[in-house]
Copies of this chain bind each other. A is one copy, B any other.
Amino acid sequence: MLSQKTKYALKALLYLAEQDANHISKTIEIAEAASIPKKFLEQILLDLKRGHFVGSKQGKFGGYYLLKSGNDITLAEIHRLFDGAIALLPCASLNFYEPCSDCKTESECSLRHGLMIIRDETLKAMQGITIASLVKK
């Protein structure tokens, strides 16, 4: 399941994608439109900024805006930024790989192979869902 943070991040990105080009959105504006606690959203937007999904303008009349097209922001990327690995175990993960602690050797991990199949399918599907594709609905 998605964490609240990931869900809020998606909704915030969706809001930004719906604005006119060159429009800069204040945190409070996004928070109210998408029903997200403002202080929590501040952290999320900072994380999105550090992940190079959004840009910001500081000071009076500042705010946030998309740094890339909604077509180029996928669910897979946002999931990884906030919720981490897409695979069901670290030993089956591409971006968050860690060996199993309780499997003797890696090749003996009985679950790894099956979970890599799941990961491939889920990843493919998640890369197909973009912010732009969600806006259109």
Bound CA span A43–B126, Å: 34
How many monomers of this chain does the complex have? 2
Contact of A110 among B84, B125, B137 (CB under 8 A): B137
Question: A71 within 8 Å of B by Cβ?
Answer: no
Bound CA span A101–B112, Å: 36
Contact of A89 among B2, B14, B110 (CB under 8 A): B2
Is A113 a contact of B137 with CB atoms below 8 Å? Answer: yes
Majority SS at the chain A contact face: helix
Residues in chain B near residue A10, CB distance under 8 A: 110-111
5 closest residue pairs by CB, A with B: A121-B125, A114-B129, A35-B102, A2-B88, A122-B122
Is A1 a contact of B84 with CB atoms below 8 Å? Answer: yes
Residues in chain B near residue A85, CB distance under 8 A: 1
In chain B, what residue has the closest Cβ to A122?
B122
**Count of chain A residues with Cβ under 8 Å from any Cβ of B?**
33
How many Å from the CB of A76 to the closest CB on chain B? 10
Bound CA span A90–B135, Å: 20
Question: A94 within 8 Å of B by Cβ?
Answer: no
Bound CA span A122–B10, Å: 20
Bound CA span A128–B126, Å: 19
